[in-house]
Amino acid sequence: MLGVTGEPGGPKAVIAGRPGLRARRAMWSACVAGIAVLAAACTPVPSQLQSQTQSDPLRTACAAAAVRSCALPYPSDEFTEFDATSPTGRRVRVPSGVIPESLQRQLGPGLGVSDVFDGADGFSALGPVVFELDQPVRVLDLPVDGGDVVVVYDLVTGDRVPVRIRHGADGILRGGVSPVVMAWPALRWTPGRTYVARITTAAPTMGAAVLPAPALADPDAYLASVRADLERIEGNRWREYASVTRFTVRSSVNATAQLDAMVDQVRAVPHPVRGLQVQPPLVVPSGAAIVTGEVELSDFRSETGRIERGRQPRPTWEQFLLVLPKQPASPAGAPVAVYGHGLTIGKETLFEVAEDNAARGVATIGIDVPNHGSRSDEGGYLLQIAEPAGFGRLASIAAQSIADHVGLIEALRSTLAPLDAAPWRLFGASGDGRVDLDPSRIVYVGTSMGGVLGASLLAYEPDLLGGYLQVAGTGIAEILYTSLLWPIFSGVVPGPAEPGDAAALQAAATMLLDVGDHGNLIDRLRKGPPVFLQYGLGDEIVGNEYSERLAALLDLPRVGAEVWPTTLPLRSAPGETLPSDGRAFTQVYPLQSSAELRGFLAHLTFASTSGDRSYVEWLENRLSAAGLPTD
């Protein structure tokens, strides 16, 4: 197993950069967003930033090394306290005053600082280290791996941990020039471990040199202890540092406890179906019938849209779409492919795989993710809630969707198991006296967001035959912040916000997104159903680095030729052919190779001939492994 980025016991990695990629993403994002959108979230950055943390009466309990935003650097163990009852020995206690009250009010009820960190025994394994400097920095000129400017060390081993350097939200507007520097883990910070990080004054600026944070000249007890940690690892270089921090990563059990409880509650209740309608399979040549209806699921969200700890769910009826094949692959009925759709679209996109499935005797079923399609009445359609007051609902989509799909699978195994609806008949009753489905044989297929969330689902469904993830990756927050789609959602950042405060809010949001992020479920996922990952080269909706992060975390081998070097050291399968266990990843060349369009079109490679061939090969592999014919 690869041990990159906080995963002890494995080889170290050098994070490869792709020339021009970061700059192109920044350019496209700026074009899509427009100056007006981002200007609302960011205030101008002066040529030199004077520390305002002591003079602003609304700022309280600032981080010791703060320059302008009281919340930075982030994360920091100075905002934790000893707790012998927690797995990490710590409990996060971030003072509410580190973020201006004017910004917190815009986020609505249930999204205060204390709510975000409620019960946490450390910080997100997938969140960034965020530094704010006294000068605007040319972030795009920093080495993508931080070089010697930005470094993160494992506190115990002293090993350097590979990172990826990013700019904050304001950096998009300013072409990568920002006083904020973000260092994201190349894979993840290991749960339960402690890290120490620093940035030097050698960061490239637009003019004057970077100065150290004022507190570094006369460090308090916390900063003195960080100084001692760094001196033990790399010698006395204190005068070179612009800022430093030390942080502990939350334990896996802490990060997954809320979703674990939700899944348990979902499985404890029945999932009836109602309103079944049988329709002709007009768009699926190998189909026998299309069935629509509603399934009862469990909604854990409050009136604000947030999933609150300990809240009891309420039953809700949600629409489903089911395609039945003419010839089921199993004598017991058709195996079922549960389909997860992508961001902004709906369950009807399952028709992209429905014919491939039906031609091989497999049924396909899907539901809408919250705030998509038929569920736009649950507080609004996705893009309508992309504002500060809607962030709680946005952040809850992942966990609620995972719980919904667990409920759907429970329905397949119970109330939908006796279904007899195929074939559809124009006259007379549909059905042939035999059950349509074989719920003992289920696979999962997810596209984009459906792949990202589907990986979490697979961790909770160990009996599935496997999961095929199209253009997916690990790290919900980082994927979104660096996606060409981010400008559509950037309105969730309250404004006007100083660059540091905006970045701190972005970083803290990873704590809320942790609930549904499969990056916290890697140990279970490694032992779970076989995962196959397909991604498009040059994808800038879900960047290749996040797909390769998923492949590395699961130690998936590559099948097919390596047509583009990976950003992480990944292995290839023997003969570059699909292993019998169905675990692998593959690269697919984009439909259009121009630099201007590749970032968008590479995200659609699942619909290409190569992408389709890859899926069919994997599906037949899984059917064969289940003892079913594939010809």
Task: Output the pLDDT for position 206.
Answer: 86
> pTM for this one?
0.91
Same-domain status, 39 and 188: yes
Other CB atoms within 10 A of residue 603 CB: 27
Helix ranges (DSSP H) in 280-421:
351-359, 391-413
Q: Is residue 143 part of a domain?
A: yes
Question: Are both 58 and 91 inside the same structural domain?
Answer: yes
State the pLDDT confidence band at 132, using cuts at 50, 70 and 90: very high
In three-state secondary structure terms, 517 is coil
Q: Where is pLDDT greater, at 418 or 595?
A: 418
Per-residue pLDDT, 170:
57
Q: Which residues contact 306 (CB under 8 A, 6 or more apart)?
A: 110, 111, 115, 392, 393, 395, 396
Task: Estimate the crossing angle of helix 449-460 against helix 391-413, to 10 degrees.
Answer: 50
Question: pLDDT by residue (tens digit) across 269-318?
Answer: 999 999 999 999 999 999 999 999 999 999 999 988 999 888 899 999 99
| Residue 292: Cβ within 10 Å count | 13
Neighbour order of strands in the sheet with 314-325:
273-279, 287-299, 314-325, 363-367, 334-340, 437-447, 466-470, 531-536, 584-588
Q: Is 172 helix (H, G, I), strand (E, B) or coil?
A: helix
Pair 168, 499: CB distance under 8 Å: yes
Per-residue pLDDT, averaged over 512-530, amounts to 96
The 10s digit of each residue's pLDDT in 80-120 is: 999 999 999 999 999 988 999 899 889 888 888 888 999 99
- Let me know whether 224 and 296 are in one domain: no
Q: What is the CA radius of gyration of the chain?
A: 25
Q: Is 200 helix (H, G, I), strand (E, B) or coil?
A: strand
Domain-embedded: residue 6: no
Residue 308 sits in the same domain as residue 211: no
Q: What's the average model confidence in pLDDT over 206-226?
A: 96
Given a cut of 70, whether residue 446 has pLDDT beyond it is yes
Look at the chain and report how many structural domains it folds into: 2
Q: Whole-angstrom Cα distance, residue 500 to residue 169?
A: 9
Tokens representing 240 are 């070179």
Contacts of 364 (CB under 8 A, 6+ apart): 322, 323, 336, 337, 339, 350, 353, 354, 357, 358, 445
Same domain, 447 and 557: yes
Provide, rounded to the nearest whole percent, the portion of the chain with pLDDT above 70: 89
Q: Which of 141-145, 364-368, 404-408, 562-566 has the lowest mean pLDDT?
A: 562-566
Is the pLDDT at 1 greater than 60? The verdict is: no
**Do residues 245 and 259 both lie within one domain?**
no
Pairing between strand 90-92 and 80-82?
Answer: antiparallel
Domain boundary among 230, 250, 270: 250
Mean pLDDT computed over 125-130: 98
Q: In what order do the strands lie in the sheet with 241-248?
A: 150-154, 194-200, 241-248
Residue 244 sits in the same domain as residue 260:
no
What domain range is 525 assigned to? 254-473+521-625
The CA-based angle 373-377-382, given to 5 degrees, is: 60
**Sign (positive/negative) of CA torsion 216, 218, 222, 228?**
positive
The phi, psi pair for 135, rounded to 5°, reads -130, 145
Summary mean pLDDT of the chain: 90
502 lies in a domain?
A: no
Residue 217 and residue 354 in one domain: no
pLDDT grade for 194, boundaries at 50, 70 and 90: very high
Residue 12 covered by a domain:
no
Is 354 in the same domain as 302? yes
- pLDDT reading at 547 higher than 60: yes
Q: Is 314 inside a domain boundary? A: yes
Q: Which tokens go with 328?
A: 């089921």
Domain boundary among 212, 232, 250: 250
| pLDDT for residue 593 | 66
So what's the pLDDT on residue 168? 65
Per-residue pLDDT tens over the stretch 36-80: 333 333 334 444 444 444 344 444 589 999 999 999 999 999 999
Q: Render pLDDT for 396-443 as a digit per residue (tens, 0 to 9).
A: 999 999 999 999 999 999 999 999 999 999 998 999 999 999 999 999
Stretch 576-581: mean pLDDT: 93
Q: What is the pLDDT of residue 228?
A: 98
Residue 99 is assigned to a structural domain of this protein? yes
Q: Are residues 206 and 298 part of one domain?
A: no
In a domain, 495, yes or no: no
Question: Is 116 domain-assigned?
Answer: yes
> pLDDT value at position 597?
81
Burial of residue 161 (number of CB atoms within 10 Å: 0-12, 13-18, 19+): buried
For residue 160, list its beta bridge partners: 153
CATH code for the domain in which residue 575 is found? 3.40.50.1820
383 and 235 in a common domain: no
Query: Is residue 237 domain-shared with residue 291, that is, in the same domain?
Result: no
Domain's final residue, options 225, 250, 275: 250
Rounded-to-5 percentages of helix, strand, coil across the chain:
35, 20, 45
